[in-house]
Amino acid sequence: IYIAGGLQSAVMFLVNAGSTLLVSLGVVLDRLAEVCADEPSTTPARSSTSPLDGYDMRLQRVTFGYSQHARPVVHNLSIDVPEGTHLAVVGPSGAGKSTLANLLAGLTEPQHGQILLDGGELGCIDEQQLRREIALIPQDAYVFAGTVRENLTYLRPDATTEALDDAVAAVGAGETLARLGGYEATIPAGGEGLSPAERQLIALARVYLCPARVVILDEATCHLDPAAEALAEHGFARRPGTLIVIAHRISSAERADRILLFSGTTPEVGTHDDLLARSDLYAELVGYWRDEHRARHTDEAEPEAS
């Protein structure tokens, strides 16, 4: 239990620090998994490497909390996410949306209940395979020192330039690519010189290109303007597989097939219109987003004080 807790903390630290998601996390997890392998454990080994036949996801009575004493952040949550779904997750700040994203990506494990992918528990799928099947982009997108091409092909090293062009166009990263000077241009350590939006576009194109059939965007477009965000999300929605978007704008939620309104205790699922009709919390969130949108536009329209 201690080792599993350490693993979880390591994962959460890395994710919350906005550091590399798939790359360094995979390496750290692999190393920790090696340590865990020598210990007697009640959790199933991450050993299954069988190819998956499909990508239906199912959460069965999932409960997760960061400490045994505090109220769980995710409590008894059950939801089906059939392959190909475009699901938006919305909820108040601190409701647990990122926690849920990490659970869905297999970066943390539930204390109770199960998360199934193609009928098998996420926790039983070989770590490297899991990282290939599910990609999560956090808010603080990661770029590393190297060429743009290396940054884009990290998760699919054999990608052709044509595939790169498609990914860049699909997420709307063309202008960023041109500004950087093309695929062979160098990105300095820490992505210095790139704006947060440009870093997000590189991370989006990288994941668009990768083989994962389940993509989770955890506010991964928050630095893009609404039009650029719409372009990127439309691109991902056309990509084969499941798309789960932790939404921070009403427009992201409206684009989804289904919305999970997540408040930790009483999750509700429906379309935008369903939820608007039956949930006060959803109506409140929509009102808040609309006010915020109006305020931003008013600020932009107002001439600067001289």
Number of residues that make up the chain: 306
Count other C-beta atoms under 10 Å from residue 151's C-beta. 22
Determine if 57 is a binding residue for ligand ATP (CB under 6 A): no
Determine if 72 is a binding residue for ligand ATP (CB under 6 A): no
Closest CB 74 distance from ligand ATP, rounded Å: 9
Pick between residue 98 and residue 221 the one whose CB is nearest to ligand ATP: 98
Pick between residue 76 and residue 128 the one whose CB is nearest to ligand ATP: 76
Stretch that binds ligand ATP, among 50-58, 92-100, 159-167, 284-292 (CB under 6 A): 92-100
Task: Name the token pair of 187.
Answer: 């990105």
Stretch that binds ligand ATP, among 37-45, 56-64, 86-94, 184-192 (CB under 6 A): 86-94
| Residue found by looking up tokens 């919350």 in the block | 16
Stretch that binds ligand ATP, among 38-46, 47-55, 93-101, 150-158 (CB under 6 A): 93-101
Q: In what order do the strands lie in the sheet with 268-270?
A: 134-137, 214-218, 242-246, 86-90, 258-261, 268-270
Q: What distance in Å separates the CA atoms of residue 238 and residue 247, rounded to the nearest whole number?
A: 18
Among positive and negative, which fits the CA dihedral 148, 153, 158, 159? negative
Between the CA of residue 199 and those of 53, 195, 219, what are the distances in Å?
A: 33, 6, 13
Determine if 263 is a binding residue for ligand ATP (CB under 6 A): no
The site for ligand ATP, by CB under 6 A, has a size of: 12
Stretch that binds ligand ATP, among 26-34, 90-98, 145-153, 209-217 (CB under 6 A): 90-98
Rule CB under 6 A: choose which of 46, 75, 97, 258 binds ligand ATP. Answer: 97
Determine if 20 is a binding residue for ligand ATP (CB under 6 A): no
Determine if 110 is a binding residue for ligand ATP (CB under 6 A): no
Rule CB under 6 A: choose which of 42, 68, 93, 306 binds ligand ATP. Answer: 93
Rule CB under 6 A: choose which of 22, 57, 64, 91 binds ligand ATP. Answer: 91
Q: Is 92 exposed, middle or buried (0-12, 13-18, 19+ CB in 10 A)?
A: middle
Rule CB under 6 A: choose which of 99, 176, 242, 252 binds ligand ATP. Answer: 99
Determine if 10 is a binding residue for ligand ATP (CB under 6 A): no
The Cβ-side half-sphere exposure at 209, using a 13 Å CA radius, reads: 28
Pick between residue 212 and residue 222 the one whose CB is nearest to ligand ATP: 222
Rule CB under 6 A: choose which of 48, 56, 66, 146 binds ligand ATP. Answer: 66
Site for ligand ATP in 132-161 (CB under 6 A): none
Rule CB under 6 A: choose which of 12, 33, 36, 230 binds ligand ATP. Answer: 12
Interacting residue ranges for ligand ATP, rule: CB under 6 A: 12, 16, 66, 73, 91, 93-99
